[in-house]
Amino acid sequence: MSFLSRRQFVRNSSLAAATVLLPKASHARASAGTLLPTAPYGSATTAVDAISATDEADLHALVMEALDTATRAGAHYVDVHVRVTQRESIGYFQGPKYPPPAYSTQIGFGIRALVNGSWGFSGVDGVPTKTDVAQLGRDATAQAAIAARGSSQVIELAALPAVANGTWTMPVEIDPFTVSTEEKIDFVDGISEFFLRESLNLDTQAWIDFMKETRTFASSDGAYTTQTVYATGGFLRVDTPPDWASERRGYRQANFLSYAGAGWEHVLNAPLQDRAHNIIEEALRMRRSKPVEVGRYDMVFDAYAMAGILDESLGAATELDRAMGYIANTFGTSYLNDPLAMVGTLRVASPLVTVTMNRSMPRGAATVKWDAEGVAPVETTLVKDGIVTDFQTTRESANWLAPAYQHRGQPVRSNGCAGVYGTASPVTTYSPNFVMTPGTQALSFDDLIKDTKKGYAVIGAKDRPRTDQQALNGAGQGEVVYEITNGKLGSAVLGAEYLYRSPEFWKGVKAIGGAESACPSGLDRSRSDWHWQYKSWHTVSAVPTKVTGVAMIDAMKKA
């Protein structure tokens, strides 16, 4: 395994220099994190007590007590989820701003109970005692019983073969929490010094972030599983000094450091040196950008830009609870608002567009063995040749599509989209990994540009696209946008913002990249955006795409 340290970055004065192999780094365990306050159910506990309380035998006893208590209290179905989450973030900001490493360890315990077709939930952040979990079980059951009195809707769960003794660990090469803090700081520091040697007066911002989470699930159906997942990602931004003529600065981010289901190797193997020249060149070109010409154009989006659009449009719109209007007052609705009538019939995109979802892809940020309901997720086609074919479902929501599944001769089952945001939150729909199926021709981003007479090329995303409540109308800005003239890239443009209406945008797809042009992006569209510790990442794999008739406006023009 090659290790790129601060010393190596400094040593590599040329982009063409070969990577030097250093001796294997020592992997000392990072400092212990802090524990969130214990919830009101029990007395205060120390970090040592917290860790010992998660030992397998102790944890199993707590889980069984919760299940038994809720069942005795009258619950028809009960499940328990326990999360132990470690996070570490190390950043570098050139100059006096050098934040210290941030660590956290969170432990959460949640119980769901079903009584007469209605849910109840009770959860706690911290380490509960046996008495505490018994009370949690009674609380969840009592809440469900009260809810059942005023609810006309009866919840039915899709069938599930329970896994009684399941264990799984996401395959990673190096557990990031066995790598010393010094080694991580050395790496981040080296990135900055490397870029300074390539071009004077550059400012850099960089950080790396790690998550390791152990998830235990058990149910009154006899399921008991434990799995460990990882998420590793980073951020790198290069800022240039102002141009002498325009007096504008330029900047560029490294998209390839986005979150993945991987370990320390995701950072080590990032193609920083290979792509540094392009990052610097594009940042410098942005300083002499020209105003955008407002109008409708043929647009070529790179894979990173398409990942954000896919996630915020088709990704959000195919969440079934959203499409049915059940989260209208919290996270929004969907323009796909009649799922039973639309499945298998509604054209939402060009015949070139096929989108699948999964929670099994290697290095996928949402990859798991079982979802938060103990379901082994299956790969599902959401859009096939432009026609909507399915939605993201859980054990509860799968039954909402039962007539459609039965009509097609398919079993009614969850496709594994149940998840938990935070350490003690109820189960809800969780974004899976999305894949935009590549085209049959070996087309690249450059090939799509060559076939465009006049238009714009969008590289990356300044921020993720913004959409309305229905995931219907959206707007976004590329990190870098170039004009295209007669198949060639021209000047960078300033203030370019594209607008789209999802059905027209996707129906306007005229060409897509081949398999070799596909790139994964780690994105967050969680239902707990209020705190960084509750971000839940998923991977979107997309390909460069040419779309006709996209509206381009000048976001910097004053009224």
**Residue 320 Cα distances to 414, 428, 431, angstroms:** 11, 11, 11
Residue 554 φ then ψ, to 5°: -100, 105
Quickly state the pLDDT bin for 76 (edges 50, 70, 90). Answer: very high
Q: Which residues contact 251 (CB under 8 A, 6 or more apart)?
A: 237, 238, 239, 240, 283, 286
CATH number at residue 50: 3.30.2290.10
Are 337 and 235 part of one and the same domain?
no
Report d(CA 87, CA 532) in Å as an integer: 10
Portion of the chain with pLDDT greater than 70, in percent: 86
Are 205 and 72 part of one and the same domain?
yes
Are 363 and 334 part of one and the same domain?
yes
Residue 473 belongs to some domain of the structure: yes
Are 323 and 366 part of one and the same domain?
yes
The count of domains in the chain is 2
Question: What's the confidence (pLDDT) of residue 93?
Answer: 59
Please check the confidence at residue 263 and state whether its pLDDT lies above 70: yes
Are residues 227 and 377 in contact, defined by beta-carbon separation less than 8 angstroms? no
Report d(CA 176, CA 466) in Å as an integer: 33
Length of the chain: 559
Question: What's the confidence (pLDDT) of residue 151?
Answer: 72
Please check the confidence at residue 40 and state whether its pLDDT lies above 50: no
Residue 314 belongs to some domain of the structure: yes
Residue 13 belongs to some domain of the structure: yes
Q: What is the dihedral of CA 505, 326, 380, 356, to 10 degrees?
A: 20
Degrees, nearest 5: CA angle 478-479-484: 60
Degrees, nearest 5: CA angle 239-243-246: 120
Average pLDDT over all residues of the chain: 85
Please say which residue of 286, 303, 338 terminates a domain: 286
Question: What's the confidence (pLDDT) of residue 98?
Answer: 61
Are 345 and 375 part of one and the same domain?
yes
Please say which residue of 242, 258, 286 terminates a domain: 286
Please check the confidence at residue 270 and state whether its pLDDT lies above 50: yes
Instruction: Tokens for 329, please give them.
Output: 């007052």
Quickly state the pLDDT bin for 162 (edges 50, 70, 90). Answer: confident
Least confident interval from 50-59, 254-263, 533-542: 50-59
- Residue 235 pairs in a beta bridge with 207
Quickly state the pLDDT bin for 497 (edges 50, 70, 90). Answer: very high
Please say which residue of 218, 252, 286 terminates a domain: 286
Question: What's the confidence (pLDDT) of residue 535?
Answer: 67
Degrees, nearest 5: CA angle 252-313-544: 50
Are 322 and 253 part of one and the same domain?
no
Residue 489 belongs to some domain of the structure: yes
Please check the confidence at residue 408 and state whether its pLDDT lies above 80: yes
Please check the confidence at residue 147 and state whether its pLDDT lies above 80: yes
Are 303 and 395 part of one and the same domain?
yes
Are 115 and 246 part of one and the same domain?
yes
Residue 25 belongs to some domain of the structure: no
Are 309 and 264 part of one and the same domain?
no
Q: Return the closest-CA partner of residue 340 out of 405, 385, 384, 417.
A: 405
Are residues 300 and 537 in contact, defined by beta-carbon separation less than 8 angstroms? no
Residue 304 belongs to some domain of the structure: yes
Please check the confidence at residue 45 and state whether its pLDDT lies above 60: no
Q: What is the mean pLDDT of residues 3-32?
A: 32
Are residues 460 and 480 in contact, defined by beta-carbon separation less than 8 angstroms? yes
Are 368 and 242 part of one and the same domain?
no
Are residues 22 and 5 in contact, defined by beta-carbon separation less than 8 angstroms? yes
Please check the confidence at residue 20 and state whether its pLDDT lies above 60: no
For residue 265, give the amino acid letter.
E
Please check the confidence at residue 396 and state whether its pLDDT lies above 60: yes
Please check the confidence at residue 23 and state whether its pLDDT lies above 70: no
Are 295 and 173 part of one and the same domain?
no
Report d(CA 120, CA 75) in Å as an integer: 9
Please check the confidence at residue 378 and state whether its pLDDT lies above 80: yes
Instruction: Tokens for 127, please give them.
Output: 């380490």
Q: Which residues contact 344 (CB under 8 A, 6 or more apart)?
A: 387, 388, 389, 404, 408
Residue whose token pair is 């639309």: 342
Helix (H) or strand (E) holding 72: helix 56-72
Please check the confidence at residue 94 and state whether its pLDDT lies above 90: no
Report the chain's terminal Cα–Cα distance, integer Å.
56
Please check the confidence at residue 51 and state whether its pLDDT lies above 70: no
Q: Is 260 left (phi over 0), alpha (psi -120 to 50) or beta?
A: beta
| Structural domain boundaries enclosing 500 | 290-554
Q: Return the closest-CA partner of residue 93 out of 182, 250, 204.
A: 204
Least confident interval from 43-52, 81-90, 126-135, 401-410: 43-52
Residue 487 belongs to some domain of the structure: yes
Residue 26 belongs to some domain of the structure: no
Are 181 and 276 part of one and the same domain?
yes
Report d(CA 376, CA 169) in Å as an integer: 14
Quickly state the pLDDT bin for 21 (edges 50, 70, 90). Answer: very low
